[in-house]
Amino acid sequence: MRIFLLVPLFCAALWAAPQLLGVDAVLAALLSVAGAVTLSALCVGALTPASAAGGAVGAFAFMALAPYSLPLAGAVSMACVFAARSLRARTVLWGAAHALVALLCGAAGAWIVHSFGAGALSVRIAAVGVGGIVAAAPLLVPVDDAVCFALRTLAGQATGALRWRLLRAAILRRRCDGVSELLSRQARRRMDRAFQALVVTARARLDRSRPGGELLDRRIRAYVSALGRALRAAESASALTTDLDDKILAELRLEKDDLEARVEGLNEVVSDDPPADQPAEARPS
């Protein structure tokens, strides 16, 4: 869904970028940085240090290379704009593929706009539209969301059982995409809250200056266990939807009731979660 919202922005960027070459250098730099950083942040869903840096470098690369070659400038700038998203790829190979797709699509989009931008108005509009769609194509490459990426990053900093629990939580987060439609909106919000609380708790656990490591370990174990049970129930309900027999549908309703009950159980885990900065001796055991 996000790609349909971002395509018009890519179209606008491809149309506006060459126009910046004819205005004051300072104004062009400010506008290009603002636009590229905004585009990079929208691609990952948040303004992060990586998206801000990628957008700024992309704007600089475009302004430096555009006088010599617009396709080359488009390639490098789009690769930088998508750099923060490439970092969220599920494997190193997928990350390299995402970066390569961004490079090629950026070059193709800029070439289309440059080659057909001098034609009639209808031709220019079509060129900008096609170029924007091509430039936005890297959004079709699947990457992890912010929560899953945070869990993977924290797992890389952890060791032993904590590392494997965080990796399991990241896998559970990925599996949520396939069963989220079976959950009510309220249940999805509860699961999101549980995943976010797990990230906060894991960060507190990895902060060596904070006391109460054993209590935080138990909390992390409870989160991962509860989320695993809820997702197993959701996947069981999803498997039942392959048959349209009335009996199967009746069982599906029972499974959905059980699923909602399991997700409801996440409330107890989340509501009992003590603040991360609360001293260990003041926390309930």
pLDDT tens per residue, range 97-142: 999 999 999 999 999 998 887 778 888 899 999 999 999 999 998 8
- What mean pLDDT is reported for the chain? 81
Checking if the pLDDT of 205 tops 80, the result is yes
For helices 92-116 and 121-135, what crossing angle results, to 10°? 170
Those residues whose C-beta lies under 8 Å from the C-beta of residue 275, and which sit 6 or more positions away, are none
Provide the H-helix boundaries in the chain: 2-19, 25-44, 49-65, 70-81, 83-86, 92-116, 121-135, 146-157, 160-179, 185-206, 213-240, 246-264, 266-271
Distant-in-sequence contacts of 85-88, Cβ < 8 A, 24+ apart: 85/43, 85/44, 85/138, 85/139, 85/143, 86/143, 87/50, 87/149, 88/44, 88/143, 88/144, 88/145, 88/146, 88/148, 88/149
Residues in Cβ contact with 196 at an 8 Å cutoff, skipping those fewer than 6 apart = 147
Helical (H) or strand (E) element with 88: none
Over range 89-93, report the average pLDDT.
88
Backbone angles phi, psi at 105, to 5 degrees: -70, -35
Distances (CA, A) of 100 to 61, 77, 136, 170, 213: 17, 12, 13, 25, 42
* Dihedral class, residue 210 (left if φ above 0, else alpha if ψ from -120 to 50, else beta): beta
DSSP code of residue 272: T
* Residue 16, token pair as written in the block: 């506006």
The encoded tokens of residue 172 equal: 């559970």
Contact (CB, 8 A) for 45 and 51: no
Among 13-27, 170-184, 187-201, name the one with the lowest average pLDDT. Answer: 170-184
Dump pLDDT digits (tens) for 230-272.
787 766 655 545 444 445 444 555 555 555 555 555 655 555 5
Q: How far apart are CA 10 and CA 133, in angstroms?
A: 7
> What is the C-alpha to C-alpha distance for residues 75 and 182, in angstroms, rounded to an integer?
40
pLDDT tens for each residue of 16-72: 888 888 888 888 889 999 999 999 999 988 888 999 999 999 999 999 998 899 999
Mean pLDDT score, 184-207: 85
User: Which residues, other chains included, contact 50 with Cβ-Cβ below 8 Å and sequence gap of 6+?
Assistant: 44, 83, 84, 87
